[in-house]
Amino acid sequence: MDQSFVVLPKQRNQVPGVPPRLRAGGLQPETTQSGKTMEESFVVLPPPAASVYKSDSISDGGAQSPSSDGTTGAPIQLNKSGFHTTITVLKRAFDIATTQTQVEQPLCLECMRVLSDKLDKEVEDVNRDIKAYEACLRRLEGESRNVLSEADFLKEKLKIEEEEQKLEAAIEETEKQCAQVTAELKELELKSSRFKELEERFGPVNLFWSTRYDKAMTLFLTCLKEFAQFANFKDKENNIPPEKCFKLPFKIENDRVESYSITQSFNKQENWTKALKYTLCNLKWALYWFVGNTNFQPLSSTVSSHDVPPARSVYSTRTSDSKPEPRSLLNQ
């Protein structure tokens, strides 16, 4: 047989239920074993090893098998029971060994060699760590320790107390500054809230792009148109010829001035600009009429009082001689 296997020794003095101690062995010649060559690593149980787990009393009805020479042998039933008991005990032992060592048992001889080498390396590493710790401990024990005297200790204590007092004073000063900053922050927040309230009274910043702005411009044109109608009515009351009565140079119809819309939404920039120009021209035309028909005289620091024409001279000149051209007003 091959030498890579384990044979259970013939031990009869062990307690039943405890597996026999394994023993690595070489070639074990037995008369009851077959002469075949074993090629794998395994556990061989010799026939005498099973007798360790035999009970003292044999159950009734146990059949015995005669040997080849005619003598009576051990009962077949008890031999099988002892073999199964041995296998069960070995399996349990292997399970315990697997749990304790975290290595699956049983191991073949090659695996045992590998595991042994690994454990040897771990032991060497542990020994090196132990030596390093011991060397460090010896170095620390060999270092000189400077023990402060009582006077030096008191000096260090006073120094630390002074530093503590300085730090406490700095903390108090910082807390005072923090309180002042907090008060200023609250005051600023109060002013900010008041400023927001005042700001909301003037409307949002983006009111120019709002539809309310377009509506306001349309209503402004309506007011200008009503003013033109009022001025025309006043001229008729003053017996002014119809062709010389007040009329706007550019016709206003709803939100349009000469077919150009004054609204900002959904309008071209150039059309909107033209509508504003025409509206400005209408306003200048209304201003000329207002100055010519009232006692209003514009004051100027650069113009003396005698340079200002009489109250109705502008309007009389406009009505008698010529009328300002709208195109010339646009160029002014």
End-to-end CA distance of the chain: 129
- Give the pLDDT of the chain (332 residues) as one tens digit per residue: 444 455 555 544 444 444 455 444 444 444 444 444 444 445 555 554 444 444 444 444 444 444 444 444 555 666 677 888 888 888 888 888 888 777 777 778 888 888 889 889 999 999 999 999 999 999 888 877 777 788 888 999 999 999 999 999 999 999 999 999 999 999 999 988 888 776 655 555 566 677 888 889 999 999 999 999 999 998 888 888 888 888 899 999 988 998 899 888 888 889 999 999 999 999 999 998 888 887 666 555 444 444 444 434 334 444 444 445 555 555 55
Cα(122)–Cα(243) distance, rounded to whole angstroms? Answer: 122
pTM: 0.33
Task: Dig out the tokens for 240 from the structure.
Answer: 């002014």
Domain residue ranges of the chain, discontinuous segments joined by +: 84-145, 147-203, 205-292
Q: How many CA atoms within 13 Å lie on the side-chain side of 79?
A: 11
Supply the DSSP string of 297-328, one letter for each residue: ----SSS-GGGSPPTTHHHHHHHHT----HHH
Cα(166)–Cα(146) distance, rounded to whole angstroms? Answer: 29
The reply to whether CATH 1.10.1370.30 applies to domain 205-292 is no
State CA 316 to chain mean position distance. Answer: 80
- Percent helix, strand and coil across the chain, each to the nearest 5: 60, 5, 35
